[in-house]
C-alpha cells in the first residue's frame, strides 16, 4: 500500500469551496451550515454553478460541464483550503474522467461529502489522497447531530476522532488494522469493474445505504461476493441502513439501523472470518459521524467495539 497523503490542517481564515457536484440544492437548505463554517473561523466561496438547476431525467446542479468546472476550480485554486459538497444525489460519476488533480497534488486539500460523493473519494484515494466521508452542508429531513459537524471541524483542525460503538447482535468479533475504504454501498457497487473502483485487498470496508428494497441490497452484496470483494477485505464496518424495504421515510433517527438489512448483510458474509462491526454512526442518519477514507485504522469488535485512527 502506498503512503496516503493527508491534507494540511486549516488555519483560521482558511477558505472552503462550496460546490454541488451532483444534485440540485437551494441555498436556504444550507444556510445553517454556512453559519457553522463562519463560527469556526473559516471563510467560504461558492462555485459558479453551486445553485444551478439542470433538469435532465434528474435535477442536477448544472450540466456535466458546469459541475465539472466547479469541481476542478475547487481542486485547483490555491486560495481554497478545503472543499465541502452541498449534497449527494446523483451525478458525480459523470465527472470522473475529467477531474484535474495537477495543481491539487501540489496543494492537497480536504474533500468533504458522502453518499454520491463516494466516487470522488475513491478517485482521490486512487491518487493517494485521504478524504472525509462526512455530512454534506444540506441536512436530511430528520436533521443531523451537532457532533456530526463538530467532528468534521475537528478533522479540519488536525484532531482525528476516536469511536466507541454499541454492541450489535450481528457483530463478528476480532481485531484488525488496515486502510479504510468505502462509503455508500450503491456507489461502491456501481464502480465495480471500472478503473475507479476501490482496491479491496487487505482493506477495511465501510458501507451504508438508504432507500433500497431488500432484494436490491442483496443484489449489490451478491455483486461484491461474485467480484471476490469479501475474499479480499480484512474487516467490514456497516453504518446506517435507513428507509429500506417498504419503509418510504423514517424520521425516527433512533431507528437508523434496519434489522432486516443487517440480517441480510450478516448472512452474506457469514462464511468469512473477518471482524464485522454493525451500527457504526455514519450514513444517511441523524448521527453521521465522519470517517476518513484512506486512513489507517484499528478495528476492534468484541466486548468493547472501537474504531481508532493510527498515526
pLDDT in tens, the chain (311 residues): 568 999 999 999 999 999 999 999 999 999 999 999 999 999 999 999 999 999 999 999 999 999 999 999 999 999 999 999 999 999 999 999 999 999 999 999 999 999 999 999 999 999 999 999 999 999 877 789 999 999 999 999 999 999 999 999 999 999 999 999 999 999 999 999 999 999 999 999 999 999 999 999 999 999 999 999 999 999 999 999 999 997 665 555 556 899 999 999 999 999 999 999 999 999 999 999 999 999 999 999 999 999 999 86
168 with 302, same domain: the answer is yes
302 with 170, same domain: the answer is yes
Grid coordinates representing 67?
459541475
Which residues span the domain enclosing 248? 163-309
150 with 287, same domain: the answer is no
pLDDT tens per residue across span 4-25: 999 999 999 999 999 999 999 9
Domain assignment present for residue 217? The answer is yes
Grid cell 476542478 — which residue?
72
Grid cell 458525480 — which residue?
92
| Residue after which a domain boundary falls, among 133, 156, 179 | 156
Q: Contact 127/111 with Cβ under 8 angstroms? A: no
Grid coordinates representing 245?
424495504
- Looking up residue 266, the CATH number of its domain turns out to be 3.50.30.60
Domain assignment present for residue 2? The answer is no
Instruction: Tell me the pairing of strands 235-242 and 276-278.
Output: parallel
| Residue after which a domain boundary falls, among 156, 180, 207 | 156
| Helices 259-268, 214-226: inter-axial angle, 10-degree rounding | 20
Which residues have C-beta within 8 Å of that of residue 260, sequence separation ≥ 6?
214, 244, 245
Measured CA to CA, the distance from residue 24 to residue 116 in angstroms comes to 13
Provide the whole-model pTM: 0.96
297 with 172, same domain: the answer is yes
Q: Which helix (H) or strand (E) holds 265?
A: helix 259-268
Cα angle 106, 44, 87 (rounded to 5 degrees) comes to: 90
Measured CA to CA, the distance from residue 201 to residue 257 in angstroms comes to 27
Number of domains in the chain: 2
99 with 130, same domain: the answer is yes
Amino acid at each position: 500500500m502506498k503512503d496516503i497523503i493527508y491534507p494540511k490542517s486549516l488555519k483560521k481564515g482558511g477558505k472552503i469551496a462550496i460546490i454541488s457536484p451532483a444534485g440540485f440544492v437551494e441555498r436556504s437548505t444550507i444556510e445553517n451550515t454556512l453559519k457553522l463554517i463562519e463560527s469556526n473561523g473559516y471563510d467560504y466561496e461558492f462555485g459558479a454553478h453551486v445553485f444551478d438547476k439542470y433538469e435532465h431525467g434528474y435535477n442536477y446542479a448544472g450540466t456535466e460541464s458546469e459541475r465539472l468546472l466547479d469541481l476542478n476550480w475547487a481542486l485547483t485554486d490555491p486560495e481554497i483550503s478545503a472543499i465541502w459538497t452541498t449534497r449527494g444525489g446523483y451525478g458525480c460519476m459523470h465527472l470522473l474522467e475529467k477531474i484535474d488533480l495537477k495543481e491539487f497534488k501540489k496543494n492537497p486539500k480536504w474533500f468533504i461529502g458522502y453518499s454520491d460523493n463516494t466516487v470522488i473519494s475513491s478517485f482521490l484515494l486512487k491518487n493517494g489522497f485521504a478524504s472525509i466521508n462526512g455530512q454534506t452542508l444540506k441536512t436530511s429531513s430528520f436533521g443531523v447531530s451537532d457532533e456530526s459537524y463538530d467532528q468534521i471541524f475537528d478533522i479540519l483542525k488536525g484532531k482525528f476522532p476516536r469511536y466507541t460503538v454499541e454492541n450489535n447482535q450481528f457483530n463478528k468479533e476480532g481485531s484488525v488494522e488496515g486502510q479504510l475504504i468505502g462509503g455508500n454501498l450503491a456507489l461502491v457497487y456501481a464502480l465495480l469493474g471500472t478503473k475507479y473502483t476501490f482496491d479491496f485487498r487487505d482493506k477495511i470496508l465501510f458501507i451504508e445505504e438508504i432507500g433500497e428494497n431488500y432484494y436490491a441490497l442483496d443484489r449489490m452484496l451478491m455483486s461484491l461476493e461474485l467480484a471476490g470483494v469479501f475474499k479480499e477485505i480484512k474487516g467490514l464496518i456497516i453504518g446506517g441502513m435507513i428507509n429500506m424495504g417498504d419503509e418510504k421515510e423514517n424520521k425516527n433517527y433512533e431507528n437508523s439501523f434496519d434489522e432486516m438489512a443487517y440480517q441480510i448483510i450478516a448472512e452474506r458474509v457469514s462464511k468469512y472470518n473477518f471482524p464485522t462491526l454493525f451500527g457504526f454512526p455514519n450514513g444517511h442518519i441523524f448521527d453521521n459521524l465522519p470517517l476518513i477514507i484512506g486512513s489507517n485504522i484499528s478495528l476492534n469488535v468484541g466486548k468493547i467495539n472501537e474504531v481508532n485512527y493510527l498515526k
